[in-house]
């Protein structure tokens, strides 16, 4: 009986696992929640001390003859507990008035009053992006680069993986190892050669100059090759006996059967292309060709930075990738498991 109750209540290891998962969830999604909530704050709320998690704004009241004044709650002195409007601060003293009797001034130490806050999300941060900045153009540039580059990446990597998995030729394994070895080369090493080639081909200040240098990825070739090795060769041999061409084998048999691995590569490619910053910054110089990542960098000036707009645009930049990941997340585990990646 005691063993049954212990099983129902859970062992300490179960509670430790739950605590570990909860801590991991907070560490992972805590910054995202802070980013989302901070994007709804006004510039004054972002620099408010002490900082608040929710987008609070100081409450104001219309005082006859003085306009809209911030409300303060007195915490010390004979007026403790009253809510008054602050006229000004003089040194360590604050001049307050009762909105119902604005003629009587009350002096209260700064430490003896606290601001009255109310929840006021600044939705204007998002609408201002469209009115002040060419957000839709930047979004269109990023979407074009991501979609076109992903399609070309899937095609090129699938063709390379098909040749390296289903054709037998001398040096096949060596070529596969060389492709995989390029993963150890930092992208900054080939940055200058890629730029020289793009400049010689006239691809600078062009969206195609961002797309072409990265369409063939060693990760994609390895992932698809590992998956295609699991496809039975007898199926392809039977199709060849029916006079099917190699292109038809690839297009009508191999690609449909490799759909799980292609879905995984598509998700990775979308994240790579959408979040790419270094290469577009090098190859693009004209603002009309900027991606969202470059547009985010333009918000940071030499003297001032529009943090409220920067945070709002960051949320909009993360939103498409998040939605795609949530819609296709099940294909990640299925595709990687079926690809034989350990």
pLDDT of residue 53: 85
In a domain, 210, yes or no: yes
pTM of the model: 0.77
Per-residue pLDDT tens digits for 146-158: 999 999 999 999 9
Instruction: Output the pLDDT for position 295.
Output: 83
Clarify whether residues 211 and 151 are in a common domain. yes
23-27, 44-48, 103-107, 299-303 — most confident range: 23-27
Q: Distance (Å, rounded) from C-alpha 144 to C-alpha 148? A: 6
pLDDT given for residue 158 in this prediction: 94
**Does residue 294 share a domain with residue 209?**
yes
Residue 39 lies in a domain: no
**CA proximity to 290, closest of 184, 101, 135:** 135
- Is 17 within a domain? no
Contact (CB, 8 A) for 339 and 67: no
Beta bridge partners of 83: 73
Contact residues for 290 (Cβ-Cβ < 8 A; gap 6+): 138, 141, 280, 284, 298
Q: Are residues 107 and 146 in the same domain?
A: no
The span from the CA of 140 to the CA of 134, in Å, is 10
CATH number of the domain enclosing 228: 1.10.3720.10
Answer yes or no: are the C-beta atoms of 269 and 285 closer than 8 Å: no
Pair 104, 150 in one domain: no
Residues 174 and 264 placed together within one structural domain of the fold: yes
Judge whether residue 221 has pLDDT over 90. yes
Radius of gyration for the alpha carbons in the chain, expressed in angstroms and rounded: 30
Question: Which of 95, 115, 135 marks a domain boundary?
Answer: 115
* Residue 129: per-residue pLDDT: 80
**pLDDT value at position 303?**
53
User: What pLDDT digit, counting tens, does each position of 40-91 carry?
Assistant: 988 888 887 778 888 888 888 888 877 888 888 888 877 788 888 888 888 7
**Are both 68 and 142 inside the same structural domain?**
no
| Residue 251 in domain | yes
Is the domain of 68 the same as that of 208?
Answer: no
Domain check: are 219 and 81 in the same one?
A: no
Q: So what's the pLDDT on residue 342?
A: 40
| 165 part of a folded domain | yes
Q: Of 80, 115, 150, which one is at a domain's C-terminal end?
A: 115
Examine the domain organization and report whether 160 and 69 are in the same domain: no
Average pLDDT, the chain: 84
Cα separation of 336 and 341, whole Å? 6
> Does the pLDDT of residue 259 top 70, yes or no?
yes
Q: Report the percentage of the chain scoring pLDDT > 90.
A: 20
Distance (Å, rounded) from C-alpha 263 to C-alpha 80? 64
Q: If you average pLDDT over residues 277-284, what whole number do you get?
A: 91
Q: Exposure pattern of 124-157 as b/e (b: 16+ CB <10 Å)?
A: ebbebbeeebebeebbebbeebbebbbebbbeeb
In a domain, 121, yes or no: no
Band the pLDDT of 331: cuts 50, 70, 90: low
8 Å CB contact between 230 and 304: no
pLDDT band at residue 18, thresholds of 50, 70 and 90?
confident
Of 52, 84, 115, the last residue of a domain is 115
Nearest to 271 by CA among 206, 213, 318: 318
3-state helix vs strand vs coil in the chain, percent to 5:
65, 15, 25
- The pLDDT assigned to 94 comes to 86
Residue 90: CATH number of its domain: 2.30.30
For 88-107, what is the mean pLDDT?
A: 82
Residue 334 lies in a domain: yes
Q: What are the distances in angstroms from CA 81 to CA 72, 86, 158?
A: 10, 15, 71
Examine the domain organization and report whether 85 and 229 are in the same domain: no
Same domain, 272 and 330: yes
- Measured between alpha carbons, how far is residue 21 from residues 17, 106, 253 in Å? 6, 53, 42
Give domain status of residue 52, yes or no: no
Specify whether 107 is located in the same domain as 136: no
Q: How far apart are CA 42 and CA 124, in angstroms?
A: 9
| DSSP code string of 3-22 | HHHHHHH--HHHHHHHHHHH
- Best-predicted range by mean pLDDT (55-59, 126-130, 223-227, 332-336): 223-227
The total domain count for the chain is 2
Q: Which domain holds residue 70?
A: 60-115
């Amino acid at each position: 009986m005691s063993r049954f109750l212990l099983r129902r209540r859970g062992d300490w290891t179960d509670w430790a696992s739950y605590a570990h998962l909860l801590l991991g969830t907070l560490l992972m999604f805590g910054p995202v929640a802070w980013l989302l909530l901070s994007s709804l704050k006004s510039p004054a709320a972002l620099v408010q001390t002490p900082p608040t998690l929710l987008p609070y704004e100081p409450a104001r009241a219309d005082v006859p003859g003085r306009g809209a004044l911030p409300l303060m709650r007195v915490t010390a002195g004979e007026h403790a507990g009253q809510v008054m409007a602050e006229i000004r601060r003089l040194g360590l003293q604050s001049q307050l008035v009762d909105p119902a009797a604005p003629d009587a001034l009350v002096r209260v130490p700064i430490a003896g009053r606290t601001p009255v806050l109310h929840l006021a999300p600044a939705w204007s941060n998002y609408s201002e992006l469209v009115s002040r900045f060419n957000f839709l153009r930047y979004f269109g540039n990023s979407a074009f680069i991501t979609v076109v580059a992903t399609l070309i990446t899937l095609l090129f990597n699938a063709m390379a993986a098909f040749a390296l998995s289903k054709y037998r030729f001398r040096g096949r394994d060596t070529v596969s190892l060389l492709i995989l070895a390029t993963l150890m080369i930092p992208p900054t090493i080939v940055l200058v050669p890629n730029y020289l080639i793009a400049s010689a081909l006239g691809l600078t200040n062009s969206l195609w100059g961002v797309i072409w240098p990265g369409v063939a990825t060693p990760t994609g070739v390895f992932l698809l090759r590992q998956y295609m090795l699991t496809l039975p060769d007898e199926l392809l041999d039977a199709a060849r006996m029916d006079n099917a061409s190699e292109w038809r084998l690839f297009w009508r048999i191999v690609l449909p059967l490799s759909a799980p691995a292609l879905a995984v590569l598509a998700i990775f490619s979308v994240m790579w292309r959408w979040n790419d910053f270094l290469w577009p910054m090098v190859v693009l110089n004209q603002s009309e060709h900027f991606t969202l990542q470059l547009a985010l960098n333009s918000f940071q000036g030499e003297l001032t930075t529009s943090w409220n707009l920067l945070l709002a645009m960051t949320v909009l930049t993360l939103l498409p990738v998040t939605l795609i990941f949530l819609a296709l997340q099940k294909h990640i585990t299925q595709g990687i498991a079926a690809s034989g990646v350990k």
